[in-house]
Every structure is written in structure tokens, then in C-alpha cells.
Structure 1
Amino acid sequence: MAGVWALLAFVAVIIVWNAVFKRNIGEAMILGFVAVCGFAVFGGTEDGGSAWSAIEHAVVDSMQEEVTFAGLAFVFMSYLLAKTPVLDKLIDLLNSVLGRLRGGPVYTATVAGGIFGAIAHVGAAVTAAVGSVTVPWMKRSGVKPELAATVVAGGAGMGVTFPFSATMFILVGGLAAQGIMQADEIVKPLAIAGLWCLGYRIVLSWFLIRRNGIEPIAESDRIPFGRSLRSGWTSLLLFLPILVPLLLTRGPVAEALGTYSGVGEALKKPVALADGTKLPAQPYSMPDVISLITWIPVLMIALVLFLGRKHLPRTASGWWSVIGKAAPSFGVIGITIVAAFSASNVLADLGLAGQLETVLSGLDAPAWIMAIAIGVIIVAIAIPLTASATMAAVGPVAVAALAGAGVPAPIAAAAVLIFASTEGASPPSGAPIYVAAGIARVDPVKTFLPLLKYYCLPILALGVGIAVGVLPV
């Protein structure tokens, strides 16, 4: 059970160093990673290979993660936006329409997260797309930066809680291969479960708005719609960096482009589940070749450079100064992301998924106890792993365990996906946390406790309620 102990040590070291000794999260994540490496060096990896080689590959892979690039790119994008009036004009326009509504940008971020999640399904991409506009808007409306980052990161999980995500297909593919249920049986339960999760987030937004005293924008501060549209219509182009990658990866344009380019002719590697079951190789699709989380910040930066060109430096020395002033913002977020993914990779080499699967297989209790136990285990796995990796590792056995306790398989599958959707709100390793923190330009650790309190644990409770029938699906 070295992987389980390493996970506990990873979380404990981070909490102690950051919360008890009051050191920054970058240092805490490095020490947490070192603790995990200690288990690999002294206890060995699951396959018996070189621990040092596993650690080296873990670090290299983490540096090549697209979320590492995206997190830093969003920091730079946010810094550039602050140097130009482009976003200010867009926010003036949005406030002209929704500024009279108390907490308008918070509600917008929540509902937009649900809509975008149902389309894009990738947690970090949901955070990137929604947060690019709503985080600065919330900050301008008086919302604290850490709360703004919390709201958009907390909505990332809705990419998993609605059909038809890759995570869902990984889970139901394994279940269908084992004869537990058919793929189409989960669509209705998961769609309703997703609406429960969205409904909770809307109620939470209402609570947060009132608890934090967020008021409507004063009428004297709201520019009439016609005037704001005339002066700031070009700022609406900021939605293009979100819409263009989305159109190229989803819908008829994406299908036509995929057919023309022959993307679907190549096959991905078969997905291997923890129990040895191999799902058939699936063809590549446009989301596999055009990454939303990579291209949204790249296109956003390019557009800001164009729209804000009159307010940005025109000399090399001027740009050197701008980059130098932005550099401190990269440090903590960059180190934290690399350490988080590196630790995740080493934990996988220690056999964490298989060890937790063994725990799941040995559970035998009433349905409500099983639901709580399985929920806690899946949430724990989703701390270092993505939702898709979690479902590949323990998804089918978790559903089988719940079904054995009397929960109908489609409902059990929906509940398990709800549990896994906490990946975006599970400190300290959730990728959406760092994307949101980068956009808000805030220390990610300030979102940890709110995410646990307002999103992670309540979503766990929703999954349990769905599994035991308290919340009908």
C-alpha cells in the first residue's frame, strides 16, 4: 500500500508546510513531491524499475503537460489585459446589460460553466474559457480575486457531470465490456445528475453573493448600453479566441474539417483498465488535435496584442521591462503545477490506482455506507489524477461495488462520475485551480479551503444522495 501512504504523506506535508509553517504553496508542493519520491526511492516502484528513472520521467512529463503551459500563458494574458483598456470596455458593456443584477458576473460564470462543460467536457478548458472573461469581470464588480478564482475552478467539474464526455465513455466502455450495463443506459441519469450539480452551484452562488455583500453595480457607474456598445464593440472580439477553437473541435465544422484532414483515420491506443480489460482503440477526433486549453490563451494573447497595440511597448527594452514585471507571477504557479503533476506521475508508478482498487473490491456494507466509502476513495484518487484516469483505474469496480449493494448500475455509474468530477476542486493538484489562479493573478492556496468547503465535499454529498436515491435521477 505504498501508493496510498505516499498520497497521505503528500497531502500532509503540503498542509503542514503551508498552513502550519505559513510558507508559500510552491515550497509546500516541492516538499510534498520530495516526500512522494522518498517512497519510490526506499520502497521501489510497482513494476520494479528504477525509482530515479521514474522520478526523472515524472518531472519531464509534467513540464510537457499542456496545463503547465496554459497556466503560465493565462498569467501572461491577464497581465497584458491589465495593461490595455480592451477588457475594461468589455466589462463596461457587460455591466450595461447585467450590472443591475446583484452578483450578475457570479451567476454568469456558474451558468456559463454548465453550458460550456456540456459542450467541451474538459475541466481546465471550461475554466479557461469561462474564466477568461468572468474572472476580471467579477474582480471589477468587487468580488475578491480568490472568490472569483474559486467560482470558476469550482465549475470545472461540470465537464464530467454531463453526457458525453471522454470520461463517461471510458467508464461505460469498461462496464459494457464486463456486461454490467449498456452505454446508452447512463445518458438520462447522468444528464439529470448534472442538472442537480448545476442547481447546487446556482444556489451556492446566491449564498456567496449575499455572504460576501456583493451588490449591483451602482447606476452612476453603469454606462448606458448604446454608449458602451459604440465605444467598446471591438472588445466583443475577445470571445473569438473561445469560439474559434470550439467551432473547430465540436459540431458540423469540426466534422467537416476532420473528414477533410483524415483525422479520424488514425486510431488511438486502446484504454487499459486497472482490472486488465482493454477497451477497443477509438479513432482520433478534432479535440485530440486542437487543444482548447492551449489555443484559447494563445489566441487571446494574439488578439490583445492587436487590439491593445497603442497601449503596449513598441521597443525591445519596453517589452523586456513588461516581461520582467510579469515574471514574479509565473514563479509560484509554474512550480506548483510542475510539482503537482510530477507527484501525480510518481504516485501512479507506486501503484496507487491498483491499491485503491483492492480496497474497493474488499468493501461489503449497506448501500449508504458503500456510497460514502466509494465516494471518498474516488475523490482521494481524483486529487492527483484526472477524472478520466480515475475512471480507467477504478471506475468499473466502483460501479460494480455499488451495484452489488443494490444500487442500479446506471445510477451507480452516474454517482461515480459525480464523485470523479471533483478533480477540478480537489486541492492541491486540480489543474483548473491553477488556470483560475493564473487568470485571477492570485495565490492558488487561497482557493484551497473554499473549494473543499463549497465544492468538493458538497459534490461528494450530491453523489451519495444520487446513489442512495435521495436525489432522483
Structure 2
Amino acid sequence: MGPGLSALLVFIALIVAWAVVLKRNITEAAALSLVILPFFGGFDRAWSLMLGAVKYALNYEVLFASLAFVFMSFLLQNSNVLTGMLEIFTRLFGRLKGGPAYANTAISSVLGCFSGGNTPNAATAGAFTANWLMRSGWKKEQAATLIAGNGGLGAGFPPSASLFLVLGFPTVAGVVSEGGLYVALFAAGLYQVLWRVVYIHFIVRKNRIQPMVQADAEPVGVVFRKYGINLLLFMGAVIPVMLTMGPIPEHFSALSETWDDAMGALNLLVWLPVLMILIILLLDGKNVARQFSGWEDFVKKLIPHVATIGGLLFFIFAASNVISKLGLDKDVVALLDRMSLSPVITTTVILVLLAVVAGPLSSTATLTSVGVVSHAILVGVGIDPLAAAVALLVVASTEGASPPASGALFVACGLTETDPPKIYMPLIMWFVIPITVIAGLIAAGLLPLP
């Protein structure tokens, strides 16, 4: 077994044992892994691997975005903006049992078709529905599980960076068209949505959740007149998406090289939380300020929200970088070359492997490291190239719900103030395993694609 695969197994085992068996703070395990894993590359490389991983984590935009969304959530909790939005959403969807859960799923699906990012997807949809979910009867762990799981729809629906990456695979290019893969992945996203409806229905029945709106509720028009201005918060998500995708950036990029560089410098993960924070302050900044006696009080109350998640994300992202640098992709190729398995078992092994790798790595990093060889192996055992490509993308989208290093997971926990290890098993049982099964059914042709 090569150093990359060995490091991955040790990393997962250390995280699970530390959190589940020892019941210690998971940040400690993540920090310890950053010290241990570089030595899998040898004593001569350990220091450079560690320093490179630290530099990578400090420059990784997901780390900034996750902390920015935690800060945004903190501001929302101390403002009237969220209250106004919840009044609107409650009136629109409150007559449904599980209304906020269906709203979160719908928002996540729509955002998935725009942004293609799991972490901003979970953050945006979760910011509007986290408190609403808990107010309607969802336990905070259940709410965090749904928000993180729905975050995966960012990569589960096209377009996404993962889709364009797969289109460049040697066994995909020239065989599968861009339009064909786009439409097929959209259909697969709908399969994922149907499964989420099953999960929501289960929780609604288990918690005996009732509609939040009674027959004598205020008319919709009255509610919008009172609270409609708070919907401007959505512009914090709409504007960055419009400026980074679609005809607007294409138009400005065509004007000149300077404009092209400027549009290329816009980062969705950076500007989405920044703009939403600015809108919150514009809408209700004075009221937010009144919640604190001064800057010292503000910082004291903010630090507990940021410190744990910030430290955990930093060490986990750094450890993930070490695993990639140790040659995880080469180790996987070598391992599979030594196996002689049936097509069904081979497909199962490949999909499970991708789901495991998606735990510490992002969906894009997962497909970058083991995607090419995985698709080649699936096609080699008789899987249709389009079905194989979609199956890989579906499994990679579990990154949004895969412990221990999912950005969406930590954003969801930040929004609901949930201890991350408490939702590890629910996420695995309700999202990682079922979605991997969906991918297997797609690869086998049992779930049809257009």
C-alpha cells in the first residue's frame, strides 16, 4: 500500500477514533494528523509537505468562505433581517408539514443550477432556513444534516467545476457530448432530490411536525409589505452568481484584456458571503449594534462561533493537501491493478472508493486524483461512458455531506450551532450511502438517463 492511501486510511481512522471513541475535540485530531501524515512521505520530505499544506490551507478560499458564513450567521441571529425573512417563508410554505425543509431543498436545487458549489450552496440556503427549520420542530442536528446534505446539490446539478473536469477525461472527450452530460447530470440531480423528499417525510413523521401557519394567518400581501425589504438579502447570492457565470461576465470579458482579467478575478466563494454581510448591515446595522455593549462584547460573543470551526477547517484542509501530495491517485491505480474482480464488484469498489476519498477531499479534488482511472476502469468493465461519467459525478457530490472535511458540513453546523461529530453518522446513513447507491443504479442502467 502506497503512502497516499496509507495516509488517507490513518487520517480517517484518527478522526473517527478521536471523536467517537475518545470523545475528544475533533480539532485536536485534525491538528495531530497534520503532524503525523507528512512523515508518510519520508523524514526528508515531511517538513516541506507540512509547510506546503499550511500555505495551501491559508490561501484556500473555502476556509475564508466558511468563516465568513459563520460571521454572517452571527449577524443574522442578532438582526431583524432573518426574522422578517422567516415571516415571509413561514407564510408561503408554512401550511406544509416540513415546509422549511422543502424550501431548503428547493433553494439548494436552484442554487446548484447557478453556482455549482457545495459550500456556498449550503450556506445560502441554510442562512434562510436554519432557524426556520428548528422553529418548526426539527432538532438542530437534524437541521444541520439536511442543510449539509442538500449542500451536495451544488455539485449534484450542472453546471459545476466537476462536470467540466470530467468532460476533459480521455475516456469522455469525444465520446460524451457536453449537452448530453449536462442533461444526464440534471436528471441524476432530480433522483437525488427525490431521495431528499423521502428523508424529509421521515423526519416530519418521526418528529410529528405540524404546519406553522394557521387558517387565520395574515394575507400574503400584508406580510410582504411588512417584511419584503428583507428579501434584498437574496441579492447577496444573485449578484455574485450573475457576475461570475452567464452572459454578463462573458460580455465584459470580451471588451478588453483588462476587463477579462477583472472578471476572472471575481471569486464566488469570496464575494457571496461578503456581499450578504454588507446587505445585512445596510438593512439592520443599527439594530445589530444595539445588541452589544461595545466592540469588546461583540468580539467575546463572536469568538466561540468562529474559533472551533476555523481551527478544524484549517487543519483538515492542510491534512487533505498532504494526502494528495503523497500520491493518492497512483496508489489507487496500483491497488486496482492487483485486483481481478467481476464488473459488479469492480463498479462497487470504484464508487465506494470515490465516496471515501470525497470525505477529506473536495468533489473536484476527488475527481482530479482518482477520477480519470476510475472512469477508465468502469468503461473497461462494460459501463456506458455517459452513465459512468454521471455516476462518478453523483458520488463526488457527496463531498457536501461527507465527514470529516466537508465545507458544507461545517457551514451547516455553524448555522445551527451543532457539534460536527454529532451529524457524522446521520450524514453517512442518510446521504453518503444512499447517494452512492443511486450512482450505482445509474451505472448499472437501472435508473435511466435521457
Q: 2:165, 2:338 → 1: CA distance?
A: 23
Does the Cα contact within 8 Å between 1:248 and 1:257 map onto a contact in 2? Answer: no
Partner in structure 2 of residue 197 of structure 1? 192
Does the Cα contact within 8 Å between 2:66 and 2:119 map onto a contact in 1? Answer: no
Q: 2:231, 2:195 → 1: CA distance?
A: 30
- In structure 2, give the amino acid aligned to 1:335: G
For residue 295 of structure 1, the aligned residue among 265, 268, 271 is 271
Q: 1:196, 1:177 → 2: CA distance?
A: 23
Aligned in 2, Cα 1:317/1:108: closer, same or farther, shift over 3 Å? closer
Q: 1:126, 1:263 → 2: CA distance?
A: 30
Partner in structure 1 of residue 438 of structure 2? 462
How far 1:172 moved relative to its partner? 2.0
The answer to whether residue 185 in structure 2 is matched with residue 209 in structure 1 is no
How far 1:327 moved relative to its partner? 0.5
Aligned length, in residue pairs = 448
Aligned in 2, Cα 1:183/1:296: closer, same or farther, shift over 3 Å? closer
Aligned in 2, Cα 1:447/1:152: closer, same or farther, shift over 3 Å? same
Q: 1:163, 1:264 → 2: CA distance?
A: 26
TM-score (norm 1): 0.88
User: Superposition pairs for residues 103-182 of structure 1, below 5 Å?
Assistant: 103-175=98-170, 181-182=176-177
Q: Counterpart of 2:341 in 1: which secondary structure?
A: coil
Structure 1: gaps spanning 5 or more residues: 267-284
Q: 2:129, 2:120 → 1: CA distance?
A: 14
Question: RMSD between aligned alpha carbons?
Answer: 2.4
Q: 2:175, 2:93 → 1: CA distance?
A: 48
The answer to whether residue 65 in structure 2 is matched with residue 73 in structure 1 is no
The answer to whether residue 256 in structure 2 is matched with residue 255 in structure 1 is no
- In structure 2, give the amino acid aligned to 1:64: N
Q: 1:372, 1:183 → 2: CA distance?
A: 26
Aligned in 2, Cα 1:258/1:111: closer, same or farther, shift over 3 Å? same
Partner in structure 2 of residue 278 of structure 1? none
- In structure 2, give the amino acid aligned to 1:299: L
User: Superposition pairs for residues 260-279 of structure 1, below 5 Å?
Assistant: 260=255, 262=257
How far 1:8 moved relative to its partner? 1.1
For residue 55 of structure 1, the aligned residue among 50, 60, 71 is 50
For residue 309 of structure 2, the aligned residue among 315, 323, 333 is 333
How far 1:182 moved relative to its partner? 4.9
For residue 347 of structure 2, the aligned residue among 367, 371, 376 is 371
- In structure 2, give the amino acid aligned to 1:159: G
Structure 2: gaps spanning 5 or more residues: none
Partner in structure 2 of residue 9 of structure 1? 10
- In structure 2, give the amino acid aligned to 1:455: F
Does the Cα contact within 8 Å between 2:39 and 2:46 map onto a contact in 1? Answer: no
The answer to whether residue 83 in structure 2 is matched with residue 82 in structure 1 is no
Does the Cα contact within 8 Å between 2:91 and 2:213 map onto a contact in 1? Answer: no
Q: 2:288, 2:152 → 1: CA distance?
A: 36
Aligned in 2, Cα 1:382/1:322: closer, same or farther, shift over 3 Å? same
> CA deviation digits over 1:241-276, x for unaligned, max 9?
11111111222223223323537867xxxxxxxxxx
Partner in structure 2 of residue 243 of structure 1? 238
Q: 1:353, 1:472 → 2: CA distance?
A: 30
The answer to whether residue 385 in structure 2 is matched with residue 409 in structure 1 is yes
For residue 223 of structure 2, the aligned residue among 213, 228, 231 is 228
Report which stretch shifted further, 449-458 or 196-205: 196-205
Partner in structure 2 of residue 342 of structure 1? 318
Q: 2:247, 2:281 → 1: CA distance?
A: 31
Partner in structure 2 of residue 20 of structure 1? 21
Aligned in 2, Cα 1:185/1:302: closer, same or farther, shift over 3 Å? closer
Does the Cα contact within 8 Å between 1:340 and 1:384 map onto a contact in 2? Answer: yes
Partner in structure 1 of residue 404 of structure 2? 428
Does the Cα contact within 8 Å between 1:92 and 1:223 map onto a contact in 2? Answer: no
How far 1:361 moved relative to its partner? 4.2
How far 1:393 moved relative to its partner? 2.1
> CA deviation digits over 1:365-421, x for unaligned, max 9?
322211110001111221222211222222122112111111111111111111111
For residue 384 of structure 1, the aligned residue among 360, 375, 399 is 360
Q: 1:370, 1:163 → 2: CA distance?
A: 27
Aligned in 2, Cα 1:300/1:164: closer, same or farther, shift over 3 Å? closer
Identity %: 38
Q: Counterpart of 1:260 in 2: which secondary structure?
A: coil
> CA deviation digits over 1:5-40, x for unaligned, max 9?
111111111111111121122223223333323434
How far 1:346 moved relative to its partner? 0.8
Q: 1:38, 1:179 → 2: CA distance?
A: 41
Partner in structure 2 of residue 98 of structure 1? 93
Aligned in 2, Cα 1:264/1:95: closer, same or farther, shift over 3 Å? same
Q: 2:291, 2:415 → 1: CA distance?
A: 26
Partner in structure 2 of residue 269 of structure 1? none
How far 1:347 moved relative to its partner? 0.7
Partner in structure 2 of residue 270 of structure 1? none
Partner in structure 1 of residue 331 of structure 2? 355
Does the Cα contact within 8 Å between 1:176 and 1:183 map onto a contact in 2? Answer: no
Does the Cα contact within 8 Å between 2:38 and 2:49 map onto a contact in 1? Answer: no
Does the Cα contact within 8 Å between 1:99 and 1:222 map onto a contact in 2? Answer: no
TM-score (norm 2): 0.92
- In structure 2, give the amino acid aligned to 1:117: G
Partner in structure 1 of residue 296 of structure 2? 320
Aligned in 2, Cα 1:374/1:247: closer, same or farther, shift over 3 Å? same
Aligned in 2, Cα 1:86/1:35: closer, same or farther, shift over 3 Å? same
Q: 2:217, 2:170 → 1: CA distance?
A: 54
Q: 2:165, 2:324 → 1: CA distance?
A: 18
Q: 1:175, 1:157 → 2: CA distance?
A: 26
Report which stretch shifted further, 218-227 or 241-250: 218-227
Q: Counterpart of 1:120 in 2: which secondary structure?
A: coil
Q: 1:218, 1:185 → 2: CA distance?
A: 43
Q: Counterpart of 1:50 in 2: which secondary structure?
A: helix
User: Superposition pairs for residues 29-40 of structure 1, below 5 Å?
Assistant: 29-40=30-41
The answer to whether residue 250 in structure 2 is matched with residue 311 in structure 1 is no
Q: 1:264, 1:200 → 2: CA distance?
A: 43
Does the Cα contact within 8 Å between 1:75 and 1:438 map onto a contact in 2? Answer: yes
